[in-house]
Amino acid sequence: GAPNVSTATAVREQHGHDESMHPCAPPDVVVWPQAVGQVQELAALCHRCRVPMVPFGTGTGLEGGVNAVQGGVCFDLSRMDTIAELSLEDFSVTVEPGVTRKALNRHLRGTGLWFPVGTVGMRGV
C-alpha cells in the first residue's frame, strides 16, 4: 500500500545514489518491505516480469551499487531492523538487513562486545 510504496521523484532520487561519485540513477519505484516473505514475493514478481531489483540500506556505499542504471524496483530494507539472535558464546549475531552498526552496538552495550567500523560478516536473517 501507499505507505510502503513510492514513485515520488524526490524519494526515487534519494534512493538513486549513494556516497560515490556516480551520478544519480533513480529507480522507477521504491518499496519498503517489512518481512522476509514480502521480499520473497516482491523478488518473485520482479523476476517474473524481468524488472531489475536494487537493494538499498542506508545509502552510504562508495561504489554506486544503489544506482538503478536500468530503472527497476528499489527495495529499501531499512524497516527490517530486528536483531533476531545474539550468541555471546560464539560472538555471533543474526540480524535483518536494516540493522545499522549503531543500532547493533546499542543492543550490544553492556555485553563487552561491539561491532567496529569496517567489520565484515554480518549475517542476515
Q: Note the pLDDT of residue 119.
A: 52
- Domain span at 111: 81-117
Q: What is the full DSSP assignment across 40-60?
A: HHHHHHHHHHT--EEEESSS-
Matching residue, cell 520482479:
46
Shared-domain flag, residues 20 and 41: yes
Q: Note the pLDDT of residue 121.
A: 53
Shared-domain flag, residues 98 and 47: no
Shared-domain flag, residues 88 and 48: no
- pTM (2 decimals)? 0.83
Shared-domain flag, residues 90 and 36: no
In a domain, 122, yes or no: no
Q: Note the pLDDT of residue 60.
A: 84
In a domain, 62, yes or no: yes
Task: Give whole-number Cα distances, 27 to 7, 42, 47, 70, 107, in Å.
Answer: 9, 15, 16, 8, 33
Shared-domain flag, residues 16 and 65: yes
In a domain, 61, yes or no: yes
Shared-domain flag, residues 22 and 52: yes
| Cα angle for residues 25, 36, 16 (degrees, 5° grid) | 10
Higher pLDDT, 120 or 49: 49
Counting the structural domains of the chain, the total is 2
In a domain, 25, yes or no: yes
What value does the mean pLDDT take over residues 96-121?
86
